[in-house]
Amino acid sequence: MEEKEKKNKNNNEKQKNYQNFIIIAIVVLAAMLAINMMLDRVRDSRRQEISYDTFIKWLDEDKIDQVLITSDMLEITLASEAESSLPITYYTGIAEDADTLGKRLDDSGVSFKRQVVQSSSMLYTVLLYYILPSVFMIGMVFLLMRSVKGGGVMGVGKSTAKMYMQKDTGVTFRDVAGQEESKESLREIVDFLHTPAKYTRIGAKLPKGALLVGPPGTGKTLLARAVAGEANVPFYSLSGSDFVEMFVGVGASRVRDLFRKAQETAPCIIFIDELDAIGKSRDSRYGGNDEREQTLNQLLSEMDGFDSSKGIIVLAATNRPEILDKAILRPGRFDRRIIVEKPDLKGRVDILKVHARHVNMDETVDFDEIAKATSGAVGSDLANIINEAALLAVKNGRSAVNQSDLFESVEVVIAGKAKKDRILSAKERKIVSYHEVGHALVAALQKNTEPVQKITIVPRTMGSLGYVMQVPEEEKYLMSKVEMEEELATMLGGRAAEALVFDSVTTGASNDIERATQIARAMVTQYGMTDTFGLMSLETVEERYLSGRAVLNCGEETAAKIDKEVMAILKTAYDRAFSLLSENRECLDKIAAFLIERETITGKEFMEIFENVRDADKAGPSVEAE
């Protein structure tokens, strides 16, 4: 296998060098033709036609220095132009026989000579300067296009699919964690490829295609490769964009070529990543892309035409299922839709363990705590966290990753690296401290909020000057109205603390206000948590697995009422946060002072100060205070 890869690498290098040579040759030839054309234009700009009468007049006035006599014209150089580096050449036709003209020139003392142009010489000039360079350039362009794509002019109709065998992928279901339901759906495909008779005996048919749907980074491509690895069959991997070219009909031809190869190597698996590149819904109202639509039509007909009993399985992945053409999702094509969602708490623990298999971990590592701190993270995020932790351990001179490395890597992925060169002034440090403590204190004073894990005022590279890390005690799939209202109060606690302590506000709450507005608007338009609109749905979520953008589906008058309702919810949450901080001002001041001194405090330290102040308040004023 290594020799084959080495041979392919050498062939690729030779082809690349060949392409570079062709490109250089074309550039040099084009430059030569351009220079030749430029010189021709310069020569043409220094030539001027005159009448024969003007020539005779100049001859009688002794203005002519020399004359060149050709077969059909006279080329005249004036005496005034003779010394010039770029003299103007005047030309005119011949109106008398050569002997008479020669005698006239000789009598006038003008230097002249005759030039005989042979037809073979002219043919040679045209051939050398025009025909051969043009033919050479056309041939070079043809060879370049041929070498770039390989096989045929520009590789039209040749599939760019790469075939992987099990030993090349090296991926099985053991390498995929956090997606047990998805793996269960795909195990049937693997079992059919291993023992098809068990299914055909009862009359069952294997689904022709399975569509993997989910957010980016959840492991859709990894699952497809794991199916091929488990089944030990050829694995054709392509992207949807590989089919679409500039020329109409190329994509359809490549689809035909792909399925022809698949039938030759059946049983096998075809995997098309980013299916939405060719499977987008056909809409004639706003025009369309002929090449993409022809490619989609060919894919639909091929999936109808092949025999699934031969063991050809088509897997595809997308994170935009809502824009796919309905014809591609009907039974008989992509029969199954396998949802590859973001992992839950147990799934995140399993994913962390998979990625940590080849990393040295010490006894302090607790994956459950890391999984709780990474709610909403996908597989690629968790893999990045493990890698960042390993890099931190090496940077700190340790041979194994510990729990502090993992928590620091979580912060790096979420908020970026600490900016050690950004030094805040004393006033800004105080403002940021009160802002962050405002968030944490409002969270601690409410019943349905997540506990505080860490508070820091160390600036991060992603723009934050500080943040509060809250870690849920358990995985939540639903949020009540009370929990969302308390979450809003926590988000606005930073702004409330600024207004309470400094009697002014800063720009530091911009992200808090943005997130709080999104939650409040969702309460009104999506969750039916207000009396004004009741259970009416007023927004539709588009691109659920990507941006999750919400689009209003109501009139302008209703939209204005929605804005008023959102403002009322946010004002209530802000007033609640301001009231809680006002009642616990002493606690706010003490924790902020401690944070200014330490820059970073843990949730345990925060709660100790909080409990001490509350216990002191319950005990009454001290003797010193009296």
Phi-psi category of 205—alpha, beta or left, where left has phi over 0 and alpha has psi -120 to 50?
beta
Task: Return d(Cα 179, Cα 201) in angstroms, integer.
Answer: 30
Task: Return d(Cα 497, Cα 231) in angstroms, integer.
Answer: 60
Question: CB neighbours of 578 closer than 8 A, spacing ≥ 6?
Answer: 496, 499, 500
> Which residue type occupies 189?
I
Rg of the chain in Å (alpha carbons): 40
Task: Return d(Cα 241, Cα 262) in angstroms, integer.
Answer: 19
Report whether 444 contacts 577 (CB < 8 A).
no
Residue 436 annotated among the catalytic residues of the structure: yes
Task: Return d(Cα 622, Cα 393) in angstroms, integer.
Answer: 48
Task: Return d(Cα 106, Cα 98) in angstroms, integer.
Answer: 12
Asked whether the bond before 343 is cis by omega within 30 degrees of 0, the reply is no
Question: What DSSP string runs through 588-612?
Answer: HHHHHHHHHHHSEEEHHHHHHHHHH
Task: Return d(Cα 376, Cα 438) in angstroms, integer.
Answer: 25
Task: Return d(Cα 562, Cα 565) in angstroms, integer.
Answer: 5
Instruction: Give the active site residue among 230, 436, 486, 498.
Output: 436
579's enclosing H/E stretch is helix 556-583
Residues catalogued as catalytic: 436
